[in-house]
Amino acid sequence: HVKSLDQIRVFCQHARSGLEVIEELYGTRLSLFNLSLATGEAMAHLNYLIGTGEMNRSDDAVYQYQLN
């Protein structure tokens, strides 16, 4: 998990959507099952970073995540 968190920290220097984060971490060629797993993992990492105060999430229709 540490590697994924570090990768997100670097990638989210600029605002990114959840889908962009998923694609950065896991690529774009995922089966539906693997996409559902990747979504859960990515969202858990993003929520962790929000909880620690390292990241914020916009209130836009499509959430944007960015490192503080």
Residue-range domain boundaries for the chain: 2-67
Instruction: Find, among 19, 16, 36, the residue nearest to 28 by Cα.
Output: 19
Structure token digits, residue 6: 């570090």
Instruction: Look up residue 2 and give its DSSP letter.
Output: H
Cβ atoms 16, 10 nearer than 8 A: no
- Alpha-carbon Rg for the chain, nearest whole angstrom, is 11
CA–CA distance, 56 with 31 (Å, rounded to integer): 29
Does the predicted model carry a pTM greater than 0.85? Answer: yes
Does the domain at residues 2-67 carry the CATH identifier 3.20.20?
no
Q: According to the model, what pLDDT value does residue 52 have?
A: 98
55-57/16-17 β-pairing: unpaired
Mean pLDDT per 10-residue interval, the chain, length 68 residues: 96 98 97 97 98 97 96
- pLDDT value of residue 12: 98
